[in-house]
């Protein structure tokens, strides 16, 4: 609807289904510089935000049977030091300067891997239902699985990774990237990358890289003032060839 640069900024701001006041101000300022009618822009932005929130809710409902425990107040986080209300992706409290570290640190990545482990528990069932020769075991079974491509369990795990919400605290973002970036890199050479062990890793490279790119794009947009964190994030981006 608008030019490519403005549409890209909107997409980055709405990746996690939230729109902070700072993000909204930045978008309005950019829209105004392009001569966009601000009343019309607000209506379009609200509609896009609603669509993304509905999609996020649907994805969360499909991948998790129960809502996780949270230290949020509604959709907004409370500062543990002074109790002030702060938006997601804030690196520190604007009221007292408290840095948001060790607040359920690693909770996001732990929840993701628990969901992946729960899906992995279905592996035997998947093997039996998708491979009629699974009882034979051995090399023939492995070769058949490789030829057939990802089975039900792997597809489920890919869906979990794709639909998992973007972390909203600095600690969770950095922990997520530190663990996900190695999973986003292809292993093995032209000859060895399709061995059973390497293929099991490489089948997931694209989905992990896409999730890392989403997190990096959102963090770059929302953590502009945290230069140290942005430097670390850009190092991960360079490793993955993300511009």
Mean confidence (pLDDT) of the chain? 75
Residue 196 in contact with residue 142, Cβ under 8 Å? Answer: yes
Mind listing the pLDDT tens digit for each residue in 85-132? 765 555 567 677 766 554 444 566 778 888 888 888 877 655 555 555
Please provide the distance, in angstroms rounded to a whole number, between the alpha carbons at the two ends of the chain.
24
Q: What pLDDT, on the 0 to 100 scale, is given for residue 40?
A: 85
Q: For residues 145 and 203, is the Cβ–Cβ distance under 8 A?
A: no
Q: Order of strands, edge to edge, in the sheet holding 85-86?
A: 72-73, 76-78, 85-86
Q: Domain ranges for the chain, please list them.
A: 1-63, 64-240
DSSP, res 165: P
* pLDDT score, position 122: 76
* Residue 31 pLDDT > 50: yes
% of the chain surpassing 70 pLDDT: 68
Q: Between 95 and 212, whose confidence is greater?
A: 212
pLDDT of residue 221: 80
Q: Where is pLDDT greater, at 199 or 18? A: 199
More confident of the two residues 195 and 126? 195
DSSP for 110-145 reads HHHHHHHHHHHTTHHHHHHHH-TTGGG-HHHHHHHH
The phi and psi torsions of 64 (rounded to 5 degrees) equal -135, 125
Query: What is the C-alpha separation between 236 and 226, in angstroms, rounded?
Result: 16
Q: Residue 139 — very low, low, confident or very high, per pLDDT cuts 50/70/90?
A: very low
Q: What confidence category does residue 51 fall into, taking pLDDT thresholds of 50, 70 and 90?
A: confident
Phi, psi torsion values for 24, nearest 5 degrees: -65, -40
Helices (H) and strands (E) in the chain, counts: 11, 3
The pLDDT score that the predictor gives to residue 218 is 84
Contact between 111 and 130 (Cβ < 8 Å): no
Q: What is the 3-state secondary structure (H, E, C) of 172-208?
A: HHHHHHHHHHHHCCCCCCCCCCCCHHHHHHHCCHHHH
The reported pLDDT for the residue numbered 187 is: 92
Segment 186-214 mean pLDDT: 90
């Amino acid at each position: 609807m608008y030019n490519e640069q403005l549409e890209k900024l909107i997409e980055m701001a709405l990746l996690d289904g939230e729109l902070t006041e700072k993000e909204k101000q930045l978008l309005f300022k950019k829209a105004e510089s392009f001569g966009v009618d601000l009343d019309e822009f607000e209506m379009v932005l609200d509609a896009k935000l609603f669509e993304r929130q509905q999609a996020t809710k649907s994805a969360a409902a499909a991948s998790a049977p129960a809502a996780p425990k949270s230290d949020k107040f509604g959709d907004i986080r409370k500062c543990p030091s002074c109790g002030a209300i702060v938006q997601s992706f804030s690196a520190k409290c604007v009221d007292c300067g408290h840095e948001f570290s060790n607040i359920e640190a690693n909770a996001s990545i732990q929840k993701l891997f628990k969901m992946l482990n729960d899906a992995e528990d279905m592996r035997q069932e998947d093997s039996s239902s998708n491979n009629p020769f699974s009882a034979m075991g051995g090399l023939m079974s492995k070769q058949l699985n490789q030829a057939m491509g990802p089975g039900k369990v792997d597809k489920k795990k890919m869906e979990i990774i794709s639909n998992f919400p973007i972390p909203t605290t600095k600690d969770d973002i950095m922990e997520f990237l530190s663990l996900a970036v190695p999973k986003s890199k292809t292993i093995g050479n032209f000859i060895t990358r399709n061995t059973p062990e390497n293929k099991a890793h490489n089948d997931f490279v694209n989905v992990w890289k896409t999730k890392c790119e989403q997190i990096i794009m959102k963090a770059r947009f929302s953590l502009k003032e945290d230069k140290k964190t942005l430097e670390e994030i850009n190092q991960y981006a360079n490793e993955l060839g993300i511009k």
